[in-house]
Structure 1
Amino acid sequence: MSRSTLAADAGSIALASNDYIIVGVVAVVALAALAVGFVLRKEVLAADAGTPKMQDIGRAVQEGATAYLNRQFKTLAVFVVIVFFLLFALPAANIGESIGRSIFFLIGALFSAAIGSLGMRLATAANIRVASASREEGGREKATRIAFRTGGVVGMFTVGLGLLGAAVVVLVYAGGAPRVLEGFGFGAALLAMFMRVGGGIFTKAADVGADLVGKVEQGIPEDDPRNAATIADNVGDNVGDCAGMAADLFESYAVTLVAALILGTAAFGLQGLLFPLIVPAIGVVTAVIGVYITRTRPNEGSLKTINRSFYISAAISAVLSAVAAFVYLPNSFEGLTNPTDLTVVGDMAGADPRILATVAVLIGIVLAAAILWLTGYYTGTEDKPVQDVGRSSLTGAATVILSGISIGFESAVYTALVISAAVFGAFTLATGSITVALFAVALAGTGLLTTVGVIVAMDTFGPVADNAQGIAEMSGDVSGPGVDILTELDAVGNTTKAITKGIAIATAVLAATALFGSYRDAITVALADAGVALADAGTAFSYQVFAPNTLVGVIIGASVVFMFSGLAINAVTRAAGAIVFEVRRQFRENPGIMEGTVRPEYGRVVDICTRDSLRELATPGLLAIFAPIAVGFGLGVGPLAGYLAGAIATGTLMAIFLANSGGAWDNAKKLVEDGNHGGKGSPAHEATVIGDTVGDPFKDTAGPSINPLLKVMNLVSVLIAPAVVALSVGTTANPVVSIAIALVAVAIIVGAVVVSKRRSTSITDTPAESAVA
């Protein structure tokens, strides 16, 4: 990329009146998505709210979830305020963009929090309605529709707020929009990571504790009201899988848009700034179609119904995106308006931007469909992998765990290869220009974004169905066919959750690959400002993977993913230990609980989960923010590029492995509970419960948290790159300050890890420890 790329010439791009109309239409589409969300919400809340007992249980879950989120937001507000002011210290083209970047950082964080809160609050209201619908005639179709449209509300708000934020920034800042949107994406990613980690720790601490004491030790059902952890378990599903994952998918949407707009401006100029907004706007339309056509046919499983809706909406997106490309874009690169990398026109002489954009978007849509099929195969109850895990339960828990790990490893390879094929395919569309090639990768990401509305609906469907089954069992008001319907929906929800996690990590890879372009550009521009050519900058700026310093960066990046995953899983271990102590204490001190004459202290368990999850989320979060700062200022921008590459490669494999292993274990348990291999209460059932317990923090804490981790680290790297360069070369070079910043970052990481490791992980069942755990 040339010196004129983003920092100099992009800001000079001005919108004409027709361009303002296009962006205005995109904003209107975003507002329409929000309106549809409100309509769907009204429809969900109009459904029958169930029996008084169901409503009492639902109210307890809602109160616990609301209390947790309120405390979490107060904790995270401190981080948000600190980062808001730190962003002012980073270089910007002008004061207006610096202020805009910080303000839209706040807006991105607020949008992420709002979507997470909305998802949680509506899910807690929908749970009882899905449970109630299962008792009615046509219960499968009604329950599926309510659960899926609950997710549809969250999906509409995800795409609506993401698109609205991007459109407003483009309207206000025009060519300077990409740099301001870095703040918007960073705010969304930062809050999503904290919500995903904190919610994941909460939900799995409660789930593991409930399973170990209730199902394994006491031999009672999973959602038996005698188990003091059942309410906390249901609360956790909402704060982790609903609030956390909704925020996660929103930041995926926002960050992918950021990458596309940054590179689009350089590659296609004005058309590249606007076309990445047009494609997601099409996705809003197809998401509405996908949500409304989801209706279960007679003798058809719910998973097949949901998958059909996804494929239909994806096909419509592909057709409309192709039409948009051929209508809006010129037929040659000479017809583009002001690409900021002026070498693009010559490099791509003879190429057709319309065909390139169409194929790139199609690659992203096909990638989403491929991941849906792959993940469904490895985690669905109808297919061989999960059935093999179920059969392995006949020989004990060890073979269940081994077979699940094997499935996770295998599925990670195939999914990573599919993602890699998509990245490589998009990249090779423009072999003449690295700028256009990276933009093609970003366009593949926007193609995947067209499916996000339906994907979010699929994700929220999972915890809603899970909670509905729990409320039905706790209330005792659902029997006969209703029980079978809710059991099926719960199993389907496990698969849809795994699918959304796979697609979320795919967006992380596409966005991270595209952000490499903006990272490289930021370095090139900063060097030019310092009057230094990249070739003369020294080894700290080397990008060759065979260079020892770059290879060290790769290793550190891979190591951070392992450390992050270990911290998240260990946090669940500690928090779950505290729950085990508490539930055991209640059973021991109140024999009437098992007899059904004494009500357990549900609130105490919720309080323990809340306290421990908020305490534990700080260390992984600090690691994600300060590790790239330590590498960048300590080793240079070349090793930092290697760091990002190592984190992306390792994070992709690790996230898929953890998500699919956990999903396979969970559905293998469902298979046994459906009467296979001895059914409930058998040794095989006990073995699968152990497997599911191991898989809980895999699939719902560490695995999905890696996705926002990658986004946060990439955006931190893009934001600090100019400062790293400024302190490394030219008249502003100051290696002492650079090393000092790196040492402070290392000290913060070490301090956080040491504090975390000092918390006890031992589980010794004494009343004293139980009271203070």
Structure 2
Amino acid sequence: MNILADGSSGGAVLTGGNRIVVLVIALIAVAALGVAFLLVRQVLAADAGTPAMRRIAAAVQEGANAYLARQFRTLAVFATGAFFLLMLLPADNWSQRLGRSLFFLVGAAFSAATGYLGMWLAVRANVRVASVARGVTDGQERSAQRGAMRIAFRTGGVVGMCTVGLGLLGATVVVLVYRADAPRVLEGFGFGAALLAMFMRVGGGIFTKAADVGADLVGKVEQGIPEDDPRNAATIADNVGDNVGDCAGMAADLFESYAVTLVAALVLGRAVFGDAGLVLPLIVPGIGVLTAVLGIVAVAPRERDRGGMTAINRGFFLSAAVSLVLVAVAAFTVLPSGFGSLRHVPSAIAAHRGDPRLFALFAVLIGIVLAVLIQQLTGYFTETSRRPVRDVGRSSLTGPATVVLSGVSLGLESAVYSAALIGAAVYGCYLLAGGSIVLALFAVALAGTGLLTTVGVIVAMDTFGPVSDNAQGIAEMSGEVAGAGARVLTELDAVGNTTKAITKGIAIATAVLAATALFGSFTDAIGEAVTSAGGTAVIGSPAGLSLDISQPNNLVGLLLGAAVVFLFSGLAVSAVSRSAGSVVFEVRRQFRDHPGIMDGSETPEYGKVVDICTRDALRELATPGLLAVLAPIAVGFGLGVGALGSYLAGAIGAGTLMAVFLANSGGAWDNAKKLVEDGAHGGKGSEAHAATVIGDTVGDPFKDTAGPAINPLLKVMNLVSLLIAPAIVRFSYGAHASAGLRGAIAAVAVLLVVGAVYASKRRTVDVAGQAPAGSAVTAEAGG
């Protein structure tokens, strides 16, 4: 049955066969949510620990809920403004315009819901993972590890199933309801998901790393107490931050990666295969839902496993392999044997001599292989058992400076290899398309959906990290776990550091594939807009389509695109630095003013540190968000769409390298610290330990704030460019052409960005009432 051979006339409706396929995929999406519900029940059925454990977990839950509630109220203002702005942008009809705005809110709501659910369950699973380690004796470690991993990984599995379920459900509903208008409406859906994810990533990242850095610098370095010692006032905030940053933020990030990749595939699929192209990209992630369940269930340590990563790798590889087999079956079932058999497709596509079945299969294969290679490459550079991390740990013998240098060099080197793998995947798609640019871009989008067939397991891997980290913190703060049980949780925490680094690597690969595919949608939208305006693209004109960088405006656009990535990263790291400084002063004040904290006769004021992190995280949200949205507007209206295309290319290139560099450096520093804490090079309390703590604090904002936030940044800028492209053309050609209006819009965007950055740089570290009497200590931003 060649369902996709029956493309609809003119793309007005879906055929009966295509509609049935989309409905089946929608049911699979609903089933994924059902599986998530069952996994929630399994996780919550586990023992919740002792009263002391539950009290600590309750404090973390309260802080996380309070932060996300305040964050969502803040973001509601941005979402409302974006809704009305989208209504003003050009569209073919009012149905498209209204649908695009409404599904912007749906995408934002789904992204927020995925992030909130990730946090809600993680703060309940962490105490249950800690409880598994109670009373463990020598020889029982493997059994305890199996139980703890089962809870932690299935907690991540819940978030993974919600990610694929909500993402696929939103896309199928748009396709079923809007049909031919689906691509334009999906732009709004993807933009909502990406914008909310970026805000949650930045805000959560600032919160978690400010608390983490502050806790480490005062607790470990100055007071010489353990990381999660209850005498440290920043410990509760640190555990809260793990959940609002790593769980809520990363869950929203991976959801928007899933949604935006689907949007790019569906937009390009519609252009290449007609309405048939609205079905094929849904089938592949639909298969991924089924194999995600298999991969999540398969993660269980065995006696012969070298460690926890072996079990996780087994689930990941099993999911990838079964996905590929099922995609092959689907391709040969629903696709015809020749492109000429597809109706109502561009003549250049119909004349292609290849086999659509093999084309789709190999495109998906490229994505799956890329996921596997990125997983292995990132693991090599961040696992404690591999040479790179051991080399960073060994450098601690000569002090913190060499630790920082070795981590930076490791991150820079690993970024090159990751970029080469992603570039090879993109070029492989080009070769697969036989020289057809539009078909190559569709192949890139299909590769992205192939990579995301493993997203359920990828999200589970990511959530596994903070749950394990929090479990160790709760165990240490409660004093209920020691000996063999503590060793089990320490090993899980190290595995979690690696899984978080791996998911960040895969997330940036997905971001680049999605951004590349959206780049093709952008150029297609420009062509349509120019034609409808009655003009032709003229090289050197304000709306010229040439991406030749010998043109000054395009070269400037390319440089600005790369520069924005650096500025965005700098703003994020600077925000963490300021907030962490405030935490350091507050924790120092409590130790100074309440000496009973050290002997246990007084309890720290945990809530004050949580309040500092919450205030600073929400205050710092606006500047990166305005930069991501307004910078493309300034470039596009000021320099033209050719320069805007070059801007996106510069951002993709710089963003790929920067994100991998930041993530892998931070991951290596973190695990080098774990290596020393496990007894290497003198162990805890040694000078080597202090050196690795410094490296870890440098890496914290790298790997958990700036690096991961680049993923949604790239897609936000691509989607903003895609949405504003018709308006740029509208004011460049025909009756509505107005150089003055374009210049005014660009000037306003530039002024807003400059004002936001200036205001951010004027913020100071909060030391009011915390410095010694008579002191006039203030610290300027970044100082």
Match of 1:376 among 363, 379, 383: 379
Per the alignment, residue 463 of structure 1 pairs with: 466
Q: 1:342 offset after TM fit, Å?
A: 3.9
Q: Are 1:702 and 2:706 counterparts?
A: yes
Structure 1 segment 6-25 matched on structure 2, within 5 A: 12-25=11-24
Structure 1 segment 85-100 matched on structure 2, within 5 A: 85-100=84-99
Q: 1:13 offset after TM fit, Å?
A: 3.6
Q: Are 1:755 and 2:774 counterparts?
A: no
1:255–1:246 distance in 2 versus 1, CA, 3 Å = same
- Report the residue type matching 2:735 in the other structure: T
Q: 1:530 offset after TM fit, Å?
A: 1.3
- Report the residue type matching 1:402 in the other structure: L
Per the alignment, residue 572 of structure 1 pairs with: 576
1:743–1:245 distance in 2 versus 1, CA, 3 Å = same
Per the alignment, residue 415 of structure 2 pairs with: 412
Match of 1:288 among 285, 293, 301: 293
Q: 1:134 offset after TM fit, Å?
A: 2.0
Structure 1 segment 173-212 matched on structure 2, within 5 A: 173-212=178-217
Per the alignment, residue 107 of structure 1 pairs with: 106
Q: 1:772 offset after TM fit, Å?
A: 10
- Counterparts of 1:332 and 1:381 in 2: how far apart (Å)? 49
- Counterparts of 1:175 and 1:502 in 2: how far apart (Å)? 35
Report if aligned partners of 1:69, 1:239 keep a CA contact under 8 Å in 2: yes
- Counterparts of 1:362 and 1:12 in 2: how far apart (Å)? 29
Per the alignment, residue 739 of structure 2 pairs with: 735
Q: Deviations over 1:411-452 (max 9, x none)?
A: 000011001101110122112421111101100001011010
1:355–1:676 distance in 2 versus 1, CA, 3 Å = same
Q: Secondary structure, in 3 states, of the residue corresponding to 2:279? A: helix
Match of 2:259 among 250, 254, 258: 254
Per the alignment, residue 355 of structure 1 pairs with: 358
Report if aligned partners of 1:261, 1:272 keep a CA contact under 8 Å in 2: yes
Q: 1:270 offset after TM fit, Å?
A: 2.3
Q: Secondary structure, in 3 states, of the residue corresponding to 2:316? A: helix
Match of 1:337 among 335, 339, 343: 343
Per the alignment, residue 4 of structure 1 pairs with: none
- Counterparts of 1:17 and 1:115 in 2: how far apart (Å)? 32
- Counterparts of 2:109 and 2:158 in 1: how far apart (Å)? 18
Q: Are 1:480 and 2:483 counterparts?
A: yes
Per the alignment, residue 165 of structure 1 pairs with: 170
Q: 1:533 offset after TM fit, Å?
A: 1.5
- Counterparts of 2:422 and 2:496 in 1: how far apart (Å)? 23
Per the alignment, residue 40 of structure 1 pairs with: 39
Q: 1:617 offset after TM fit, Å?
A: 1.3
Structure 1 segment 120-159 matched on structure 2, within 5 A: 120-135=119-134, 138-159=143-164
Report if aligned partners of 2:25, 2:283 keep a CA contact under 8 Å in 1: yes
Report if aligned partners of 2:33, 2:161 keep a CA contact under 8 Å in 1: yes
Report if aligned partners of 1:540, 1:549 keep a CA contact under 8 Å in 2: no
Match of 2:229 among 201, 209, 224: 224
- Report the residue type matching 1:366 in the other structure: V
Instruction: State the percentage of identical aligned residues.
Output: 69
Q: 1:665 offset after TM fit, Å?
A: 0.2
Q: Are 1:594 and 2:593 counterparts?
A: no
- Report the residue type matching 1:102 in the other structure: S
Q: Are 1:508 and 2:511 counterparts?
A: yes
Report if aligned partners of 1:11, 1:176 keep a CA contact under 8 Å in 2: no
Q: 1:117 offset after TM fit, Å?
A: 0.3
Q: 1:767 offset after TM fit, Å?
A: 4.5
Per the alignment, residue 692 of structure 2 pairs with: 688
- Counterparts of 1:12 and 1:375 in 2: how far apart (Å)? 43
Q: Secondary structure, in 3 states, of the residue corresponding to 2:758? A: helix
- Counterparts of 2:431 and 2:542 in 1: how far apart (Å)? 29
Q: Are 1:118 and 2:117 counterparts?
A: yes
- Counterparts of 2:683 and 2:250 in 1: how far apart (Å)? 32
- Counterparts of 2:554 and 2:169 in 1: how far apart (Å)? 39
Match of 2:529 among 521, 526, 547: 526
- Report the residue type matching 1:357 in the other structure: A
1:770–1:176 distance in 2 versus 1, CA, 3 Å = farther
- Report the residue type matching 1:372 in the other structure: Q
Report if aligned partners of 1:637, 1:721 keep a CA contact under 8 Å in 2: yes
- Counterparts of 2:123 and 2:75 in 1: how far apart (Å)? 23
Q: 1:338 offset after TM fit, Å?
A: 2.1
Gaps of 5+ in 1: 1-8
Q: Secondary structure, in 3 states, of the residue corresponding to 1:534? A: coil
- Report the residue type matching 1:121 in the other structure: W
Q: 1:293 offset after TM fit, Å?
A: 1.1
Report if aligned partners of 2:125, 2:151 keep a CA contact under 8 Å in 1: yes
- Counterparts of 1:146 and 1:611 in 2: how far apart (Å)? 33
- Counterparts of 2:193 and 2:275 in 1: how far apart (Å)? 25
Q: Are 1:320 and 2:326 counterparts?
A: yes
Gaps of 5+ in 2: 1-7
- Counterparts of 1:311 and 1:110 in 2: how far apart (Å)? 32
Q: Deviations over 1:714-755 (max 9, x none)?
A: 000000000001101111101111111000100110010010
Report if aligned partners of 1:206, 1:579 keep a CA contact under 8 Å in 2: yes
Number of residue pairs matched?
762
Q: 1:12 offset after TM fit, Å?
A: 3.2
1:198–1:266 distance in 2 versus 1, CA, 3 Å = same
Per the alignment, residue 68 of structure 2 pairs with: 69
Report if aligned partners of 1:270, 1:337 keep a CA contact under 8 Å in 2: no
- Counterparts of 1:10 and 1:475 in 2: how far apart (Å)? 67
Q: Secondary structure, in 3 states, of the residue corresponding to 2:212? A: helix
Report if aligned partners of 1:255, 1:511 keep a CA contact under 8 Å in 2: yes
Q: 1:539 offset after TM fit, Å?
A: 5.7
Per the alignment, residue 3 of structure 1 pairs with: none
Q: Deviations over 1:644-686 (max 9, x none)?
A: 0000000000000000000000000000000000000000000
1:725–1:59 distance in 2 versus 1, CA, 3 Å = same
- Counterparts of 1:756 and 1:745 in 2: how far apart (Å)? 17
Note the aligned Cα RMSD (angstroms).
1.5
Q: 1:480 offset after TM fit, Å?
A: 1.4
Match of 1:538 among 534, 537, 541: 541
Q: 1:540 offset after TM fit, Å?
A: 4.4
Report if aligned partners of 2:18, 2:276 keep a CA contact under 8 Å in 1: no
Per the alignment, residue 659 of structure 1 pairs with: 663
Q: 1:535 offset after TM fit, Å?
A: 3.9
Q: Are 1:57 and 2:56 counterparts?
A: yes
1:407–1:328 distance in 2 versus 1, CA, 3 Å = same
- Counterparts of 1:37 and 1:599 in 2: how far apart (Å)? 39
Report if aligned partners of 2:542, 2:732 keep a CA contact under 8 Å in 1: no
Q: Are 1:400 and 2:403 counterparts?
A: yes
- Counterparts of 1:234 and 1:299 in 2: how far apart (Å)? 33
Match of 1:435 among 435, 438, 442: 438
Q: 1:384 offset after TM fit, Å?
A: 0.2
Q: Secondary structure, in 3 states, of the residue corresponding to 2:734? A: coil
Q: Secondary structure, in 3 states, of the residue corresponding to 1:697? A: helix
- Counterparts of 1:762 and 1:641 in 2: how far apart (Å)? 41
- Counterparts of 2:151 and 2:717 in 1: how far apart (Å)? 37
Q: Secondary structure, in 3 states, of the residue corresponding to 2:736? A: coil
Q: 1:337 offset after TM fit, Å?
A: 3.0
Instruction: List, as ranges, runs of 4+ consecutive aligned residues in structure 1 with deviation greater than 3 Å.
Output: 9-13, 761-765, 767-773
- Counterparts of 2:328 and 2:777 in 1: how far apart (Å)? 62
Per the alignment, residue 6 of structure 1 pairs with: none
- Report the residue type matching 2:348 in the other structure: T
Q: 1:20 offset after TM fit, Å?
A: 1.3
Report if aligned partners of 2:676, 2:682 keep a CA contact under 8 Å in 1: yes
Q: 1:250 offset after TM fit, Å?
A: 0.2
Report if aligned partners of 2:542, 2:639 keep a CA contact under 8 Å in 1: no
Q: Deviations over 1:379-417 (max 9, x none)?
A: 000000000000000000000000000100000000110
Q: Secondary structure, in 3 states, of the residue corresponding to 2:482? A: coil
Match of 1:496 among 491, 496, 499: 499
Q: 1:760 offset after TM fit, Å?
A: 2.0
- Report the residue type matching 1:608 in the other structure: I
